[in-house]
């Protein structure tokens, strides 16, 4: 399909190339007869247009042969550079202990996912001005694991166009693939252009495609050390982006830090207690979130409520205080991907508190915040504008501390003004949004 699409486009050019030579990789034996048939059809179509055509089908591992081609010690007649690559690579983890990982490392292309491994090799094998079209999960756009890949992509390749499938399911309905997918078009060693075309469709055959052109720095900020790739799509997203991207602060600028909860429950099992007892501190899980404030302890909870407060656990605990917590994982059904809640020790007598590893907590030098600021942060983090903005560069359902470090925040004064309006514990989404938007527009 990929070769046929590519060849069709070549034959439609005003001046088609004189010769097309394809090298195709496919590990699955069952697909080889189909490939042979496709190439026979391609050969006939090319010949009818006066273009000479040849194809090598490699029923072999592209990681093995790609690394060999890249290191130049591949003896056969295989080309060592390519003008173009079109790829729908396999998705899946590539363990650091695997042979593939070691082979990639030898050519400085190591990465922990198969699809980024394929792309790293392809980027290496393209000649200058060579073009890449790849359909992949969206996960490379953010997240710490993909940072080295993003850096390779953004230094080696000029991103020209990104197509986003709206739905997690439409494009790969038949394969049970629940990832959000994108198609990337990029050109090697061309220097980053001024603009990137972003298009979007629902992924079914006759669905309309919406296209917009954005300044490159709106997609890849030159000041972003994480090299996140933001993909704005609908009007709603663009409005959210306008509101959020102009905000003047970050957690660091606010003097705040976000950390991941330190209590990994299966490692601290011996210290964890179902219910509070003498000598324990509260242990907070996402199940304790209850609107504005954490509700603790939780009766008949599936998760424990307490952790022993002792010398052995001290490094897992933080001093009692007001913290803003966010969930790291939300279910696909949850309306928002960013969900925040305030931990207020109130009149609890405990000196410390444990935050479980499925949470992030926002603190000031390891200690709590003032309530007004905490309420402002709570409202902002729970606002629809931030959620929509956040989803543009977060294709998975995880919200890590690094993700939050890269988010723009209102100033401390704005947050406190927002906080001063948050008195009711049962605000609905519309009320939160009108308070936040009202302040940010003011």
Name the residues that contact ligand SAM, by CB under 6 A.
1-2, 25-28, 31, 61-63, 88, 90
Main-chain dihedrals φ then ψ at residue 229, nearest 5 degrees? -110, 110
How near is the Cβ of 27 to ligand SAM at its closest, in Å? 4
In sequence order, the 6+-apart residues with CB closer than 8 A to the CB of 341 are 288, 289, 290, 291, 292, 293, 294, 324, 325, 326, 378
Cis before 322 (ω within 30): no
How near is the Cβ of 7 to ligand SAM at its closest, in Å? 14
Residue 99 or 242 having the CB closest to ligand SAM: 99
Phi-psi region of 210 (alpha: psi -120 to 50; beta: other; left: phi over 0): beta
Identify each DSSP E strand in 297-420 by its residue range.
306-308, 317-319, 323-327, 340-343, 352-355, 359-363
Residue 33 or 208 having the CB closest to ligand SAM: 33
How near is the Cβ of 59 to ligand SAM at its closest, in Å? 9
How near is the Cβ of 89 to ligand SAM at its closest, in Å? 6
User: Which among 132, 130, 196 has a CA at the least distance from the CA of 164?
Assistant: 196
Residue 113 or 414 having the CB closest to ligand SAM: 113
Q: Any idea which residue has 């402002």 for tokens?
A: 376
Nearest-CB residue for ligand SAM: 88
Residue 152: HSE in the Cβ half-sphere, 13 Å Cα cutoff: 18
How near is the Cβ of 26 to ligand SAM at its closest, in Å? 5
Task: Return d(Cα 100, Cα 95) in angstroms, integer.
Answer: 9
How near is the Cβ of 177 to ligand SAM at its closest, in Å? 8
Residue 46 or 121 having the CB closest to ligand SAM: 121
Residue 1 or 371 having the CB closest to ligand SAM: 1
Residue 133 or 412 having the CB closest to ligand SAM: 133
Task: Return d(Cα 228, Cα 238) in angstroms, integer.
Answer: 17
How near is the Cβ of 312 to ligand SAM at its closest, in Å? 46
Yes or no: say if 139 and 396 are a contact pair by the CB < 8 Å rule: yes
How near is the Cβ of 228 to ligand SAM at its closest, in Å? 25
How near is the Cβ of 252 to ligand SAM at its closest, in Å? 39
Task: Return d(Cα 390, Cα 408) in angstroms, integer.
Answer: 10
Yes or no: say if 369 and 352 are a contact pair by the CB < 8 Å rule: no
Residue 121 or 272 having the CB closest to ligand SAM: 121
210: β partners:
200
Residue 88 or 437 having the CB closest to ligand SAM: 88
Task: Return d(Cα 100, Cα 194) in angstroms, integer.
Answer: 36
Residue 124 or 368 having the CB closest to ligand SAM: 124
Residue 217: CB atoms within 10 A of its CB come to 14
Residue 36 or 235 having the CB closest to ligand SAM: 36
How near is the Cβ of 61 to ligand SAM at its closest, in Å? 4
DSSP 362-390: EEBTTB---HHHHHHHHHHHT-HHHHHHH
CA 346 to chain centre: 36
The enclosing H or E element of 106 equals helix 99-106
């Amino acid at each position: 399909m990929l070769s046929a699409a590519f060849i069709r486009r070549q034959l439609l050019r005003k001046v088609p190339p004189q010769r097309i030579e394809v090298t195709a990789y496919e590990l699955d034996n069952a697909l080889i007869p189909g490939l042979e048939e496709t190439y026979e059809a391609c050969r006939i179509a090319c010949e009818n247009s006066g273009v000479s055509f040849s194809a090598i089908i490699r029923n072999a591992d592209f990681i093995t042969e790609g690394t060999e081609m890249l290191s130049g010690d591949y003896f056969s007649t295989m080309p060592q550079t390519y003008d173009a690559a079109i790829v729908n690579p396999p998705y899946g983890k590539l363990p650091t202990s695997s042979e593939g990982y070691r082979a990639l490392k030898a050519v400085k292309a190591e990465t922990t996912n198969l699809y980024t491994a394929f792309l790293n090799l392809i980027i290496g094998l393209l000649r200058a001005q060579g073009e890449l079209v790849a359909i992949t999960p969206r996960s490379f756009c953010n997240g710490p694991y993909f940072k080295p890949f993003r850096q390779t992509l953004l230094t080696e390749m000029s991103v020209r166009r990104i197509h986003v499938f709206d739905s997690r399911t439409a494009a790969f309905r038949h394969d049970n693939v629940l990832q959000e997918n994108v198609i990337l078009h990029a050109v090697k060693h061309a220097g980053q252009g001024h603009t990137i075309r972003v298009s979007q469709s629902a992924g079914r055959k006759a669905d309309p495609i919406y296209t917009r052109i954005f300044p490159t720095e709106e997609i890849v900020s030159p000041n972003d050390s994480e090299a996140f790739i933001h993909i704005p799509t609908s009007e709603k997203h663009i409005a959210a982006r306008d509101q959020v991207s102009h905000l003047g602060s970050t957690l660091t600028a606010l003097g705040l830090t976000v950390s991941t909860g330190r209590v990994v429950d299966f490692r601290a099992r011996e210290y964890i207690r179902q219910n509070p007892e003498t000598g324990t501190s509260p242990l907070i899980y996402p199940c304790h979130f209850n609107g504005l404030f954490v509700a603790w302890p939780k009766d008949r909870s599936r998760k424990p409520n307490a952790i022993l407060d002792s010398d052995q656990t001290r490094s897992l605990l933080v001093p009692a205080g007001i913290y803003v917590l966010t969930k790291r994982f939300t279910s696909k059904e949850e309306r928002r991907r960013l969900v925040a809640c305030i931990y207020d020790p109130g009149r609890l007598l405990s000196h410390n508190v444990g935050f479980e590893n499925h949470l992030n907590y926002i603190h000031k030098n390891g200690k709590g915040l003032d309530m007004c600021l905490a309420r402002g942060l709570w409202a902002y983090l729970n606002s629809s504008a931030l959620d929509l903005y956040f989803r543009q560069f977060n294709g998975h359902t995880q919200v890590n501390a690094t993700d939050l470090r890269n988010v723009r925040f209102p100033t401390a004064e704005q947050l406190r003004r927002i906080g001063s309006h948050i008195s009711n514990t049962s605000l609905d989404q519309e009320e939160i949004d009108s308070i936040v938007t009202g302040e940010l527009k003011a």
